[in-house]
Amino acid sequence: MAVLDNVFWQALAGTQRELTVGTDHVRRYSAGLPPLLAFADPQRPRLEELAPFCEPGERFYAPDWRGEPPAGWRVELEATMELMVWSGGALPEEPLEAVTLGAGHVPAMVELATLTRPGPFGPRNLELGAYLGCFEQGRLVAMAGERMRAGDFREVSAICTHPDFQGRGLARRLVQRMVATQLRRGETPFLHVMSSNSGAVHLYRQLGFAPHRTCGVRVVARTA
């Protein structure tokens, strides 16, 4: 699974390159997509090369690098996350009233992601893959979708439930549905979860994801 050793670069510089901007050393998703960076060599991030492709004040999630940021950048947060890869077999799909989300749902998707903060999210996320959502009385209350694609590896992402509707297993069943779809395509599902979110790590283990490695992650901002 060498692809997963630097899956951000494998996705942004490879399979999804048409959705990114940058150089041969550092790339980002285009504006409106999740604010993520990827480095060809995280030990030599060359972050300064990305300045022409960013606006002052823009913030990004940057994986797997340490050291002082170059001039024109600052580190605002530093943490770790777990990269987990599907290790289970075929999944039975539990009953779930879910719909495929489309362009008309984008405002509700952004609103839910802003409230629940499942990770980097943008109004163009639908361009990255399929999204499913659960509704209550016309209100989007839970969703899950796809983000990175690196070869045959497919990321499950933006897994979130409105606080008023938690405890009903909506996120779990949405993830099961997404995983089952990816397995039928011949893809290997994977996901990222913050190391501090022990409840989510436990849930994903129960579903069939196995820890692959712990990754450093920073939130960095382009200064004026």
Q: Are residues 62 and 166 in the same domain?
A: no
Q: Are residues 93 and 162 in the same domain?
A: yes
Which residues make beta-bridge pairs with 74?
221
Give pTM, 2 decimals.
0.94
Burial class (CB in 10 A: 0-12, 13-18, 19+), 141: buried
- Look at 35-39, 55-59, 94-98 and tell me which has the smallest mean pLDDT: 94-98
Q: How high is the pLDDT of residue 143?
A: 98
Higher model confidence: residue 93 or residue 208?
208
Residue 211 clears pLDDT 80, i.e. is over it: yes
Q: Are residues 62 and 173 in the same domain?
A: no
- pLDDT, tens digit, for every residue of 60-113? 999 999 889 999 999 999 999 999 999 988 777 677 899 999 999 999 999 999
Q: Are residues 72 and 119 in the same domain?
A: no
Q: Are residues 119 and 189 in the same domain?
A: yes
Amino acid (1-letter code) at residue 105? H
Q: Are residues 117 and 157 in the same domain?
A: yes
CATH of residue 189's domain is 3.40.630.30
Structure tokens at 174: 């949405």
Q: Are residues 124 and 208 in the same domain?
A: yes
37, 50 Cβ separation under 8 angstroms: yes
Structural domain count of the chain: 2
Minimal CA–CA distance to 162: which of 148, 146, 141? 141
Q: Are residues 7 and 88 in the same domain?
A: no
Amino acid (1-letter code) at residue 127? E
Residue 133 clears pLDDT 70, i.e. is over it: yes
Q: Are residues 73 and 122 in the same domain?
A: no
Domain range spanning residue 42? 2-81+217-222
